[in-house]
Chains A and B, each alone.
Chain A
Amino acid sequence: GIQVEQSPPDLILQEGANSTLRCNFSDSVNNLQWFHQNPWGQLINLFYIPSGTKQNGRLSATTVATERYSLLYISSSQTTDSGVYFCAVGQSGGGNKLTFGTGTQLKVEL
């Protein structure tokens, strides 16, 4: 099956810093989503981004499907950004049957 690799696995930032999280996938996809799992375990959809660039406040994401990667940018990080960020991909005909990466654990400190 398709492989999804995320980097870095762990990241510690000072509040106010910027960061870039990367997601590489091993095959073509028609579905890519980024999720944030907060410290209480809740999974929150950040972006549905099979291609192109999207922005939502301090977060933005870019997917280059032809090169099989996606990036999530977090600017001016806040302590509430802490948690695990997951990239999940789906292939043609698979709908929202998603394969998740192992995540990037982010901790934002004061």
Chain B
Amino acid sequence: DSGVTQTPKHLITATGQRVTLRCSPRSGDLSVYWYQQSLDQGLQFLIQYYNGEERAKGNILERFSAQQFPDLHSELNLSSLELGDSALYFCASSGRGAGTGELFFGEGSRLTVL
């Protein structure tokens, strides 16, 4: 158990819909990262938050947004969903401030868009 909690584990929805994925980092970790794993793109960094503020952005679509709340949990919002958004979405956290250090992943949220 990495200590990173993600919900829901599985989600099936239709094109055009909106979903929210939730993540609680390890106790004490201030940094939260979102990654997407798809068959065609592999594992890709989406976005990082550190203590409530956006710190780094990767290949995140404009239809996607995220935030980190004062209790440090984070949410990834995916809207106007397309078939190609079907993927495994991981949240990860690390403890060494906003910098490097071991990255611990949650079990992921598997999104299927029909």
Contact = CB atoms under 8 A, between A and B. Distances in A.
B92 A96 contact: yes
Contacts, number: 63
Interface in A50-73: 50
A94 interface: yes
The listed residue with most A CB atoms (<10 A of its CB), out of B2, B31, B43, B45, is: B43
Interface string A5-27: 00000000000000000000000
Interface residues of A, number: 23
Nearest to B44: A100
B105 A45 contact: yes
B48 to A, nearest CB: 6
Contacts of B92: 43, 96
Interface in A69-104: 86, 88, 90, 94-100, 102-103
Contacts of B90: 43
B94 A96 contact: yes
A48 B98 contact: no
29 contacts: A41-B107, A41-B108, A41-B110, A42-B107, A43-B108, A44-B2, A44-B105, A45-B2, A45-B102, A45-B103, A45-B104, A48-B100, A48-B101, A50-B100, A88-B103, A94-B56, A95-B31, A95-B98, A95-B99, A96-B31, A96-B48, A96-B92, A96-B99, A96-B101, A96-B103, A97-B56, A100-B43, A102-B42, A103-B42
Interface of A: 30-31, 33, 35, 41-45, 48, 50, 86, 88, 90, 94-100, 102-103
